[in-house]
Amino acid sequence: MIDSRAMQKAYDTNIASYPWFIAFSSLLFWFPVFFLYFSSKVSIDQVLILEAVYYAFVVLLEVPSGYLSDLLGRRVTLIASSISALCSYLVFFIAGEFTLLIIAQVLLAAHISFKSGTDSAMLFESLVMRARKADIGDELARAQRFGLIATAIAAFFGGLFGGYNLAYPYALSALAAVAALAVSIKFTEPEKSQHALAKPVLDHFAEIFQYLKKPQLFWIFLFSVIIFVLVHVPYEYFQPYIKMLFPANTAYDQSPVIAGILIGITMLLGSCASHYSMPLKRRLGTPTSLFFIIIIALIIISIMAAVLHMLVLAILVMRSVPMALSNLIIQSVLHENITDQIRASFLSVLSLASRLAFSLTLLVTALLIGKHDSLDFHQLQLIIIGYIGMATLIMPALWLNRVKIR
């Protein structure tokens, strides 16, 4: 029999190590250069197809990964996530053609899918075993700050090295993936997740959809999808916007460096914003807080579409604020309202729906744009206006049907 004090210490180690796992996983040195890297290899429509492939495979893998996490455990799933990340970055580093880029995107999608939901589920279950369930919001906020600061640091150095060679940031990201793998190996499996699923897989997911029949969970599910799509618009088109402002005219491309610095500032602002997410939820309530956040996201992309100017960059650095605020509010509600047996699977279904929605918008955009070597500002304006129009149609209905979230 395992000594209870040793297990308590192991759970404390899980809780203390979790922010570092998030930090190493968030050392995304490729963040400031991925669009530029893809567009240096393939045409713009293929760039968008590559992004759509990534989101589509996250969708395909989300539910199986959540099910396996609930079945096999959190630790082994996080180890698989770290290995997938390492393999992805190595393929990106050597990639020179469209097919290899697709393989790398699929591996990256596997990394995200295995990590999504499982990481926070492991934290929550470790907190439960230490009788600290109520601390989930604050612990998630702490880990998110670690992750955003790590991304800020990685963005700066990724942009710096990317100016010399757009493949270098992927080599640095591979080293970070090794560190994340080392932390995941040291995790202890929470007892709450050490069980085989008693129900067949179809019954397991039928239970998830039973949860979606609850008005409060269905409402927040839909809202999560909308927020995900809107906050990823500036994420996806931030680099080409900078490229339009700072076209390369020397051997050293300055746009990755500028993107890296701005993304670093963006992540730091997101880190600061995450500190206020739970107080915002407690003060305004979940529905009002989320509507306030989504208005911020709409303002940011509206300004991005309105004018091509350097001053707009001061607004675009705030693009991580809506995600930093909304992510913690949504996760805290879901963790407190879902059972241990399907927690990771439910979060995977939510992630699936969000990424599927964004993937479909990217595929439609790729079809409408056609083959071009680069994206011009007029095309960018039309793309963003499309997202604003969709949100404008959907948001009033959601507001009128908002429910009280416990």
Q: Hey, how many other C-beta atoms are within 10 angstroms of the C-beta on 59?
A: 22
Q: Which helix (H) or strand (E) holds 127?
A: helix 118-129
Exposure b/e, 142-175, CB count within 10 A at least 16 = b = bbbbbbbbbbbbbbbbbbbbbbeebbbbbbbbbe
**Residue 23 above 80 pLDDT?**
yes
The pLDDT tens digits for 369-406 are 767 666 788 888 888 998 899 888 888 887 777 665 54
Task: Give the integer Cα–Cα distance in Å for 181 and 122.
Answer: 15
Report the range of poorest mean pLDDT among 105-109, 196-200, 345-349: 196-200
Task: Return the residue matching tokens 């995900």.
Answer: 228
Q: What is the pLDDT of residue 249?
A: 60
Contacts of 387 (CB under 8 A, 6+ apart): 229, 230, 233, 301, 361
User: At residue 257, what is the residue type?
Assistant: V
Contacts of 248 (CB under 8 A, 6+ apart): 254, 255
CA dist list (Å): 337 to 41, 96, 212, 213, 214: 46, 46, 11, 13, 10
Q: How confident is residue 364, by pLDDT bands cut at 50, 70 and 90?
A: confident
Identify whether the C-beta of residue 181 lies closer than 8 Å to the C-beta of residue 55. Answer: no
Cα dihedral: 143, 148, 149, 150 (round 10): 90
What sections of 213-342 are H helices per DSSP? 215-245, 254-274, 277-284, 286-306, 313-316, 320-337
Domains of the chain: 8-400 (1.20.1250.20)
Longest dimension (CA), the chain: 68
Report the range of poorest mean pLDDT among 40-54, 92-106, 323-337: 323-337
Return the SS3 of 228.
helix
Predicted TM-score (pTM) of the model is 0.68
Q: What is the pLDDT of residue 200?
A: 56
Q: What is the pLDDT of residue 204?
A: 60
Task: Give the integer Cα–Cα distance in Å for 308 and 377.
Answer: 7
CA dist list (Å): 351 to 55, 56, 235, 282, 314: 10, 11, 17, 25, 30
Report the range of poorest mean pLDDT among 171-175, 265-269, 331-335: 331-335
Identify whether the C-beta of residue 33 lies closer than 8 Å to the C-beta of residue 162. Answer: yes
Averaged pLDDT, 252-264:
76
The pLDDT tens digits for 113-140 are 888 778 888 888 888 888 777 777 778 8
The pLDDT tens digits for 285-344 are 778 888 888 888 999 999 999 999 888 888 888 888 888 888 778 777 777 777 666 666
Q: How confident is residue 198, by pLDDT bands cut at 50, 70 and 90?
A: very low
Helix, strand, coil percentages, rounded to 5, for the chain = 80, 0, 20
Identify whether the C-beta of residue 48 lies closer than 8 Å to the C-beta of residue 171. Answer: no
Q: What is the pLDDT of residue 341?
A: 64
Average pLDDT over the chain reads 81
The pLDDT tens digits for 228-239 are 888 888 878 887
* Percent of the chain whose pLDDT exceeds 90: 16
Q: Which helix (H) or strand (E) holds 252?
A: none
Task: Return the residue matching tokens 């009033």.
Answer: 396
Averaged pLDDT, 226-249:
81
Max mean pLDDT among 203-212, 280-289, 343-352 falls in 280-289
Q: How confident is residue 176, by pLDDT bands cut at 50, 70 and 90?
A: very high
The pLDDT tens digits for 62-89 are 767 777 777 778 888 999 999 999 999 9
Q: How confident is residue 252, by pLDDT bands cut at 50, 70 and 90?
A: low
Q: What is the pLDDT of residue 105?
A: 92
Q: Which residue has the higher pLDDT, 174 or 347?
A: 174
**Residue 279 above 60 pLDDT?**
yes
Q: Which helix (H) or strand (E) holds 8?
A: helix 4-25
Task: Give the integer Cα–Cα distance in Å for 191 and 159.
Answer: 42
